[in-house]
Amino acid sequence: MEGDLYSEQISAGKRTYFLDIKQSTKGNKYLVITESKKVDDGKFERHSVMIFEEDIEKFATSFMKVLLKFHSVELKPDTRE
């Protein structure tokens, strides 16, 4: 049985993010993170990343590390002319 098990939606201006826990036909769970953005012609552009069950702990640990550092990381000077 394949399908959605749980879903969260985050509206953020022109973008909407979806966090979906799904189940494969073999019964394995996985996480899908999708960004949806309305483009000029009125259509939606979507980008997705799938995180498989066997990788979810490593992903979550690294994601938390990045979140904790996010506001303390210094920006590099803009070198564009």
pLDDT tens per residue across span 1-42? 468 999 999 999 989 999 999 999 999 999 999 999 998 888
Q: Per-residue pLDDT for 68 more than 70? A: yes
Which CATH class for the 3-69 domain?
alpha beta
Q: Per-residue pLDDT for 81 more than 70? A: no
Paired sense of beta strands 3-12 and 29-38, if any = unpaired
Task: Give the pTM.
Answer: 0.83
**Residue predicted with more confidence, 75 or 1:** 75
Listed by start position, the domains of the chain span: 3-69
**Residue predicted with more confidence, 78 or 44:** 44
